[in-house]
Chains A and B, each alone.
Chain A
């Protein structure tokens, strides 16, 4: 079995085993979140949120729903917005984002019904698999036959070879004459 279907199976199992539906109740509203709480790194996550009135059970349309998670960048911690959507006539909002976090984490869902002041919050835990994957891969550029790092290496070797040749040439000649002179001097003295 290749790794990709295996990961997909793990996602499915995770979704089945780890409660596909989360319900959060706030003061005035009830939030139903339909999502696989196991997600795969780099894949798209779709969080389906249904918003109801807590008393009457009536679905609430035209409400703003925002998904955020906490992140720390260079020592500064804050909320990173993942996605936002507005509930439709059936009170359903679909939030989609790419899973970029390589570890299990909490996503905070904030919602505000029309006419209400301020947001209410609910949390959902995400388990992430495939954290060994590299999400961002640059695509290969234009490949020109015969052009690559070896051309650069060859050029460098030629340049260094010329430098060495120019340095060693006069040195060897000078040393040769120095040796001849030393021989002459010792021959003359003997």
Chain B
């Protein structure tokens, strides 16, 4: 075994002085054993480098893949909320059929004039204290308002504790149109 073999790795790493490096260089050119050894060390060094890159890539990739489903579900939930909320919150009220109790009560309490057999009994409506349009009329007349949903979010709820500067506070008012788009964002104290 050559004495130079102890200097092969420092020579690869350029850690030798110029004089030592030149001596090793000369020796390696004429020594097959040292050349083989050097090739092995080079290959190990390159494999280690690749291995560390693989480790970093694997960890990064693994990390991302854990978060992808979480992010995807969060985005889908948000989209679903924007699509569903306006319809549920301010959509046209459902058209209700007159309650069965009303019909039967009117049939009982109101004496009917001798009806014509072919003519249906006139339907008497219950008097309401505040006479207003019926549900059906309201449903027909209903037009979507300009703003479907208004949300007020205090600043404390938007930022983590301690992130807001002392003494600073505001409320963010968010107006969402019936189609789900954000109509207006306003900050007020």
- Are A and B interaction partners? no
